Amino acid sequence: MSNLIGHSLGRYHILEQLGEGGMATVYKAYDTRLETDVAVKVIRTESLPQNAVERSLKRFEREAKALARLTHPNIVKVTDYGEYENHPYLVMPFLPGGTLKEKLNGKRMTWQEAVRLLIPIARALDFAHRQGMIHRDVKPSNILITADGEPMLTDFGIAKILDAQETMDLTATSALIGTPEYMAPEQATVKAADHRSDIYALGIVLYEMVTGRKPYTADTPLAVTIMHARDPLPRPRTFVSDLPQVVESTLLKALAKKPEDRYQSMGEFAIALENLERQTSSKAANRKKAKSQPVEYKQGEIGKAGFDYRKWLMIGGFVTLLGISLAVGNVLLGLGWRVVEPPAAITSTSTNKQSYASTQTSGQMPTYTSTPVNRPMPTYAPLGPDLPLVKRVIRDEKFDDLSTLEFQLNIGPQGAFNLSDGLLTLNEPLVSGDPWEDGSSALWSDWPIQHGNGYLLLFRTEPSAYFLINFEYGPFGSPDYHAFWFESGQTYGIWSGDNQLISHTLGFQYEPKTWYYLLMWLNIDGVEGKIWEKDHPETGKLFTITTGKDWASSHLNYKVNVAEGTMVIDEFQEVEFLK
């Protein structure tokens, strides 16, 4: 492919080349319409057979649209796409911070820093996997580092566009799709790869970050792929003797030769990395606590006759404060926990709201309204004796600003969302007559739910809305899928595997255009919860279902899924129950 500097690809004028790899060349370009710098990734097709090029171009538009809908704070967004002289290209925001490969530059970093950088990438990959998308080429040069030090994953789906299954022929064309140093053994042996190949690749990245070297190197790409498939993994502690055993064990599991021996989801791998980071934070906190311990005086050093009056004054003050704290705590716990009152009355449409579709023909990024909201002072709402007492509020999402949202939005092809006046509106029209055929608009947690915590949602829906509020794991329809479904205020149940739903009638009079609280939590054997009208907790309905002790042992996420109609969300809280 010839150098494109000075050329114009539609409205994008190529300024300079930023990088080049086996699958694509990246250029810095100027968007003449929006008058801003962008990154243009031109996909290389010259090494592929002509019939493979034709298939890739036909597939490109479908895959590009799917990539454009992949919205996550740690995934570089695709904003436009096109084709230039049989070369498809993708347009993305220009991020000048550099790549993880440049940051490493052949050196190693502390395992603590490596884990910190890769946790957001693991969460981004987990999000994509749950949307049915596999990266296929995870490596340091595809992890950008922003000016603020945040990692961003790029090059999503490039290998899928080139279609490794149809175009790779190591013996005939040498058109190897992917990067051999980071390819899982099943990719090297031309077997079907799945999301666990990304787990292996991210494990290789972590290995390289903490040891300063790749585990396998050879003179040819084919030789490297064979080493991945056959050679034992060099132990990381061979190169870093003080590497903690738990870090090495995490690497060994991620880099198992057989996919079934690895972490079975990227969410599970992310939890393992978060546990490593948590151990580091806990040790640092203990060291800080040890340094802040008060100095003890020996008898006779202060005061007369060995009486340490300062010490006794400290003890007396502590006892007084403890008594006051317990008194205040009893009052607050008797009342419940903090909830913010929603607006007194909200109509189905507000004059200052505007909906934004999830796909844009112009390729521009969607905009949104983010208006600071003057909320009332916090109050304490009594929730009745049938709910657990709450120790503290862990998360309190008021939906004031999309940039600080602790959830991921996945808007369906026909759907739209609006963020205005502290309210998030999800809308999904019914087109074909089947709500699931038309897609859905969803709100996903970017973090796992925890045993012992409650998840409280304040919401209302319009008439004829069909929605689910879930604790969920895995892609729907897969054998690994399992979820608790709270369905449209009418039923609740457990869904496991391909098509196994155990459903119960809620026995609750759910009304549209009415604000409801829904509280759900995991217990040892299943799921419990309660739904009640905002101003009438006495009208609520408790529900419980048994799932078995091992059902929720894996990574579960919180999800709000609107398949038809409109839902308005005012607030979400994660709370820790009093044990």
DSSP 417-480: EEEETTEEEEEE---SS-TTTT--EEEEESS---TTEEEEEEEEE-TT-EEEEEEEES-TTSTT
Return the exposure string of 192-209: e unless at least 16 CB atoms fall within 10 Å of the residue's CB, then b.
ebebbbbbbbbbbbbbbb
User: Which H or E run includes 144?
Assistant: strand 143-145
Q: Check 137, 400, 421, 438 and give the catalytic one.
A: 137
225-234 contacts at long range (C-beta below 8 A, 24 or more positions apart): 225/170, 225/176, 225/180, 225/183, 225/187, 225/188, 226/188, 228/180, 228/183, 228/184, 228/185, 228/188, 229/185, 229/188, 229/189, 229/257
DSSP assignment letter at 534: T
Strand, coil or helix: what is 207? helix
Contact call for residues 484 and 470 (beta carbons, < 8 A): yes
- The first and second tokens of residue 25, run together, are 């060349």
DSSP 375-426: PPPPEEE---TTS--EEEEEEEE----GGG-SEEEE--TT-EEEEETTEEEE
Strand, coil or helix: what is 577? strand
What is the number of alpha carbons within 13 Å of residue 361 lying toward its C-beta?
0
Sign of CA dihedral 426, 429, 433, 434: negative
Q: Say whether 421 is catalytic.
A: no
DSSP assignment letter at 101: H
Strand, coil or helix: what is 37? strand
What whole-number distance in Å separates Cα of residue 438 and Cα of residue 425?
18
The label of the residue with tokens 């048994």 reads: 546
Q: In what order do the strands lie in the sheet with 87-93?
A: 8-9, 12-20, 24-31, 36-43, 87-93, 80-84
The label of the residue with tokens 């003080």 reads: 242
What is the number of alpha carbons within 13 Å of residue 579 lying toward its C-beta?
2
Contact call for residues 551 and 482 (beta carbons, < 8 A): yes
User: Helix, strand, coil: what percent of the chain each, to 5?
Assistant: 30, 30, 45
Residues with active-site annotation: 137
